[in-house]
Chain A
Amino acid sequence: MFGSHPPVRHMTIDPHQCVACGNCTYVCPMGAIYIDPVRKRATIDRDECVECYACYNGLSQEHLNPTLVRTVRRLLALVRVRFDPEPDVCPTAAFKPDELTWPRVVRRAFSDPRVPHESTGVEGRGTEEVKTNDVTGRVKAGEVGFTIEFGRPGVGVRFHEIQEMCHALAAAGVAFEKKNPVTSLMTDVATGTIRQDILSEKVMSAIVEIKAPVERIEQIIRLVGEVEKRLDTVVAIGVGARCDERGEDDVVAPILERLGYHLERAKTNAGMGRATRPEREPTPGMVKA
């Protein structure tokens, strides 16, 4: 999946640069950065870090002299005065991306939204879902597309937890979306088995995409609900439906409401898209488990 590209870099904090201001401890979505009380430097918990680059990309960087900053901070601390810097600044540009190797590279692929997934070429979580349904025709009338997302918001997930859900879905005979980053990491789509060497890797979030006939909505939602009780993370379900020619959905929404969901928000495809390469094969669809 990633072999043909140069190594991705990953994150370290240069102890010679860090002044332990603590700003980065707040910006880490996984809470993986802390000030080591002995070293007096910001430190990254490697096991919890998902390589999202929020620290490196999100913090503005100054390039102050670290010795000067430490001295000033020490003097101010002596009189119990605390400098009040901008909260989104690393005063000494201490974050340094370093080399990242397999399997850790999957952390960044599923956590840094600016890096497109190589399996789909799509940024973010690497999925098109019903966003391009007007072009791909992926979800048709009488069908429903599920996006089952793990780890968001701000909790994270390890692949062995995703695999547990995939095993259950595969056993129920659902079809996994072929053009999906998680599916591309399966060694056996029939059983929903994900490659062994990444099962312990933690990522910000990942989406499993499946499609099913409308009649199976309740069964699948109940199945997901059962499995998620065993997982140590949060799950966000999206349900995609094709509207009729009047633009109405009189099929899926009523089922979801009957199941007790209060539908507040949706992503609505306005139907403006069209394929400009009609000679191409239709977008690959689902892989039957």
Chain B
Amino acid sequence: MTNTLHRFGDAESFHDDFIVFAIASKGNNDQDALPKLRRFLEIAVEYKPVNLGDARHGGAFRPSNSMNPVAHWKRDIKPDFAAVIRGLDTATTCAAVFDNRVAAEDFVKRIHEEDFGLSVNISTSIEGAEQCCHHAGLPRHSVGYSLGFEGKTEKLPNSQVLSLSTMCGHGMISHSLAQKMIDLVKEDRRTPEEAVSCLARFCSCGVFNPSRAKRILEDARTKTK
């Protein structure tokens, strides 16, 4: 789930972006991981996440393969956490996304108390993750730093688009779609909530942060690149 590491933005821009994910190590502790991962997701719901997901089936915003045409006028744009928990059928990476530090801290502390024995990582600003660990009484074990994007960066879009599209580090949210959503919000043809749910449906593991995306879209409505 390096897909959470290289989000575009500075540390301040991650003040509402905390991803806590649990992962089993193949061949080391994955044999009995499925019920633990399901419990991880169930507990997360108690702490009011903004998204939830597993790497195999996706997040709490999902596309439909049998959409009714009437749905164009009354589309459900709310996350469906129960569907994520219900759909988990394999020991894959599970993630919970929070938009405030207190919830993330309390969740990490609770997971520590549950003692699942799975690896738990926090992806956010360096300071934010430190505080989560400190709150749970845990010294950090390891840290993976993002050094940002290099190389042919002239191929990358503007910062607003990049801030949205990199919230799915697997690349499932295209730059073009992110730009289109910004444009639709600017033109007042879609609300930020509608645009956010559209983007989130493309995230294939549920780490897209709808709260942060809404903030970015609100900013993009009035600000230049």
Interface residues of A (CB under 8 A from B): 25-31, 52, 54, 57-64, 84-89, 93, 111-114, 116, 120-125, 127-136, 139, 145, 147, 149, 151-155, 179, 204-205, 207, 221, 224-225, 228-229, 231-243, 245-249, 252-253, 256, 261-277, 280, 283
* One of B23, B72, B151 near A234 (C-beta < 8 A): B151
Interface secondary structure of A, over-half rule: loop
B150 and A86 form a contact (CB under 8 A): no
Contact A265-B5, Cβ < 8 Å, known A236-B149, A237-B150: yes
B1 and A131 form a contact (CB under 8 A): yes
* One of A111, A155, A240, A265 near B125 (C-beta < 8 A): A265
Contact A269-B177, Cβ < 8 Å, known A60-B63, A264-B9: no
List 5 A-B pairs, Cβ < 8 Å.
Answer: A116-B92, A135-B29, A235-B149, A261-B148, A264-B126
Contact with A along B84-113 (1 / 0, CB 8 A): 000000001100000000000000100110
Interface residues of B (CB under 8 A from A): 1-11, 14, 21, 23-29, 31-32, 55-58, 63-69, 71-72, 75, 92-93, 108, 111-112, 115-126, 129-130, 132-133, 136, 138-153, 155-157, 162, 165-166, 169-177, 180-181, 184, 189-190, 198, 201-202, 204-205
By a CB distance below 8 angstroms, the chain B residues around A116 are 56, 92
B121 and A270 form a contact (CB under 8 A): yes
B92 and A280 form a contact (CB under 8 A): no
B9 and A239 form a contact (CB under 8 A): no
* One of A236, A237, A269 near B140 (C-beta < 8 A): A269
A154 and B175 form a contact (CB under 8 A): yes
B176 and A31 form a contact (CB under 8 A): yes
Q: A61's closest neighbor in chain B, by CB?
A: B65
Given contacts A58-B201, A247-B138, list 11 more A-B pairs with CB under 8 A.
Answer: A54-B202, A88-B63, A124-B55, A179-B26, A204-B171, A235-B149, A239-B145, A247-B141, A263-B146, A264-B126, A266-B129
